Structure formats: structure tokens, C-alpha cells
């Protein structure tokens, strides 16, 4: 019988989510989700393609198969094509795309993917493009205090902020953008990159509440579990590179707050102090990884019982089906309807990538170390 981990890997590699046909102009791109009701894939998503490249580096470390480095090149080349065409990484690619927005967060995730492709294939082109994207962020988006402007309208070439939606505002999610700068420092020993990573992480001071929770935006009481986890991922990677104990301490405090929010079914709400109601799979996948990383830093198994509770909930959103487009993927969330909680019938790409890593680390809990997990975090 195929294990949960193998099923998850198979869905990512072979379900059609990733465009593997070399004759397709979008070869290398990764779809955002598969909609079971509509029987179709969502738009091709550069940010998620960045995650996929990093996921392939992780898989290669597990299994060392030529296909992972080959697919990483396809995906990296697709991102480079977009960067060359638009002078930036734009948000989504579809047949009628009028999208002219480039998000700083997405650009950082794609830069990380390109650095991982370099680490996987040792071809300098990927390092150069990754650093080019990071240099654009340094020049235009990252402030002297570590703040990150959220998005650029490439039709005007101006950075903007909008309170229309949460991700068009500067927020705690941007702390994760420190990761490629820390990784670049590890690769090149360029102190400038290290300083930028540290500057971005310092912004946690403005987001973390006295109870340990992390607010989504500076002037808001709303807490979003997904972006809270993004901030912690940035801090944990920063701890790996700098050994700054403050990053570790802040992660512990945030995690202790999160674990106090676990519901009877093992879920944690996505939103707090907000009108939105969701029990989403992707932040639970993230939190599982974060708990394991903290246990490995602390050299104990303090968080293992809660990690297992969260995983039991996550399993309720794992797709098992005779259709390979569904089998092994993770559904996005349960959403609140008039008739109670309903499963959103979308197999979500990033949820599944985060879950793949979490399942692997949980299954190998006793043998993994902080060093050999954190360097593959995406």
C-alpha cells in the first residue's frame, strides 16, 4: 500500500499540477490548485512554482533522482522567462492575463527557488537570476528599517499599498522574505545579504503582541495563522544562520499562543478578530513543520503530542480517490456555510507541498536534526 507521504509526492509530481510537457510554452509552471467540481486547474502561479523548486531540492535530498533536478530547471527557466518578459515576477499567468502586479513576497519566494535550483544543479545562471530579483527588492521595496513594500504596478513601475485585501498591505508575512537573503549569505558569504535578512527579521518587534500572537498588519488586531507561520518560518531560518536567540524565543512565544487555540477537532482557526471563518489545511501544515523544528532546536519532544493532534486534523483534508488528479493532494480548507462546516473541493498546491515536508519530518521525527531540516524549509 502506498504511504501518505508517497501519495502526496505522487500528486505533486504526476497529477498534472506541474506542467511537464516540454512542448508546452508553460513547461515548468505549477498550477495553484485543482478544482474537483469544475474538473480544471487554477491559474499558473509563479510564487508556487518557486515553492515547487524548493520542494524538489528537498525531495532530491530524500531520494536523489535525476528527475528532481530536471524539473527544478524546467520551473526555474519558466520563472526566468517571466522575469525577462515583465522585468519582474508577476502574480499569475493564465490565457487572458491582464495582470500587471508584482508582489514582493512572491518575488522573494521565487528568488529562494532559484537559489535552491543553483544548490541542486550548481549552474551559476540560477544564482545570478535569484540575486537579480533580490537586488530589485533591495533597490525598490525594502526600507532602511526592514519594512517591505507589498507590491508594484509594473505598468507604472511604482510600488503601492492598498487596503482592499490583506496581501496588498505590508504585514508580518514579509518577515519570510528574509529567507533568500540569509540563504544567499550562506552561499556567497556576502555580509550585505546577512544584514538585510536581519533587518527584515527585526520587524517582528512591531507585530508580536504581548501574549505571543502576531498580528497581520501593524495597525490591526486581526491575526491570520497562515501569515503568523510565515513570520515564524523567516525567524527560524534566521536563527539557523545567525543563532540569534531572540528569534528562537519569539517563535516559542508565538507557538505557545497557537497551541492554546487548538479546537476540539484538532484544527486551529485561520482568522482571529475577523469576520472570516475558516479551518484551513495550509497553516496547519506549516505549524507542524515549525513545531518539529523547535523540538529539534530544543533537543526535546515537548511539542510532539500537539504535532500529532494537528496531523490527525490535517489527514481529514487529504484526498484519497481513484482519480490521479485528486489522489494524494490536500484540500484547502473547511469553510463556514449556513449548514455548518463544508470542505472546499479544491486540491491546493502549496498546502500539499508544506504537508509533504511535515509528514516526512514527522515520520522521521527521531532521526532528523535541526540542521538537516531547516536548510530545506520552504
Q: Grid cell 546577512 — which residue?
A: 194
Gap between the Cα atoms of 315 and 295, Å rounded: 22
Question: 3-state class of 337 per DSSP?
Answer: strand
Please compute the mean of the pLDDT values over residues 116-137 and round it to a whole number: 98
**Secondary structure element (H or E) that encloses residue 74, with its range:** helix 66-86
Gap between the Cα atoms of 329 and 335, Å rounded: 18
Question: 3-state class of 193 per DSSP?
Answer: helix
Contact status, residue 102 vs residue 113, Cβ threshold 8 Å: no
Q: Is the pLDDT of residue 87 over 70?
A: yes
Contact status, residue 200 vs residue 241, Cβ threshold 8 Å: no
Please compute the mean of the pLDDT values over residues 33-51 and round it to a whole number: 97
- pTM of the predicted model as reported, rounded to 2 decimal places: 0.97
Gap between the Cα atoms of 228 and 284, Å rounded: 11
pLDDT, tens digit, for every residue of 351-376? 999 999 999 999 999 999 999 999 99
The pLDDT-based confidence of 96 (bands split at 50, 70, 90) is low
Residue 102's Cβ-count burial label (10 Å; 0-12, 13-18, 19+) is: buried
Gap between the Cα atoms of 47 and 61, Å rounded: 22
pLDDT, tens digit, for every residue of 227-284? 999 999 999 999 999 999 999 999 999 999 999 999 999 999 999 999 999 999 999 9
Instruction: Give me 128's grid cell.
Output: 545570478
Report CA dihedral (290, 201, 193, 160) to the nearest 10 degrees.
110
pLDDT, tens digit, for every residue of 130-171? 999 999 999 999 999 999 999 999 989 999 999 989 999 999
- 307's CB contacts (< 8 A; 6+ apart) are 288, 291, 292, 295, 362
pLDDT for 82 equals: 96
Amino acid at each position: 500500500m502506498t504511504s501518505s507521504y508517497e501519495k502526496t509526492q505522487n500528486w505533486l509530481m504526476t497529477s498534472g499540477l506541474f506542467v511537464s510537457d516540454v512542448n508546452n510554452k508553460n513547461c515548468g509552471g505549477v498550477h495553484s490548485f485543482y478544482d474537483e467540481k469544475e474538473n480544471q486547474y487554477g491559474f499558473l502561479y509563479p510564487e508556487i512554482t518557486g515553492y515547487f523548486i524548493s520542494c524538489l531540492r528537498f525531495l532530491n535530498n530524500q531520494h536523489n533522482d535525476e528527475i528532481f533536478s530536471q524539473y527544478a530547471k524546467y520551473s526555474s527557466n519558466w520563472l526566468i522567462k517571466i522575469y525577462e518578459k515583465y522585468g519582474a515576477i508577476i502574480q499569475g499567468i493564465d490565457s487572458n492575463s491582464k495582470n500587471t502586479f508584482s508582489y514582493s513576497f512572491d518575488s522573494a519566494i521565487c528568488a529562494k527557488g532559484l537559489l535552491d535550483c543553483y544548490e541542486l544543479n550548481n549552474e551559476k545562471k540560477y544564482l545570478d537570476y535569484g540575486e537579480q530579483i533580490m537586488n530589485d527588492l533591495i533597490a525598490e521595496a525594502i526600507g532602511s528599517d526592514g519594512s517591505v513594500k507589498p507590491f508594484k504596478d509594473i505598468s507604472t513601475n511604482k510600488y503601492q499599498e492598498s487596503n482592499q485585501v490583506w496581501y496588498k498591505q505590508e504585514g508580518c508575512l514579509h518577515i519570510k522574505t528574509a529567507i533568500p537573503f540569509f540563504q544567499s549569505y550562506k552561499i556567497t558569504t556576502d555580509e550585505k545579504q546577512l544584514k538585510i535578512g536581519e533587518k527584515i527579521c527585526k520587524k517582528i518587534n512591531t507585530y508580536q503582541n504581548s501574549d505571543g500572537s502576531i498580528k497581520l498588519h501593524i495597525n490591526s488586531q486581526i491575526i491570520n495563522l497562515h501569515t503568523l507561520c510565515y513570520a515564524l518560518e523567516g525567524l527560524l531560518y534566521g536563527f539557523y544562520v545567525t543563532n540569534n536567540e531572540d528569534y528562537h524565543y519569539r517563535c516559542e512565544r508565538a507557538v505557545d499562543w497557537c497551541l492554546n487555540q487548538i479546537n476540539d477537532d484538532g484544527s486551529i482557526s485561520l482568522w482571529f478578530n475577523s469576520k472570516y471563518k475558516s479551518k484551513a489545511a495550509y497553516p496547519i501544515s506549516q505549524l507542524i513543520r515549525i513545531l518539529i523544528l523547535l523540538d529539534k532546536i530544543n533537543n526535546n519532544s515537548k511539542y510532539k503530542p500537539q504535532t500529532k493532534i494537528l496531523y490527525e486534523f490535517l489527514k481529514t483534508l487529504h484526498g484519497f480517490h481513484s482519480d490521479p488528479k485528486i489522489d494524494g493532494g490536500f484540500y484547502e480548507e473547511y469553510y463556514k456555510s449556513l449548514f455548518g462546516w463544508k470542505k472546499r473541493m479544491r486540491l491546493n498546491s502549496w498546502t500539499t507541498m508544506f504537508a509533504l515536508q511535515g509528514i516526512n519530518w514527522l515520520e522521521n521525527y527521531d532521526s532528523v536534526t535541526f540542521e538537516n531540516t531547516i536548510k530545506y524549509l520552504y
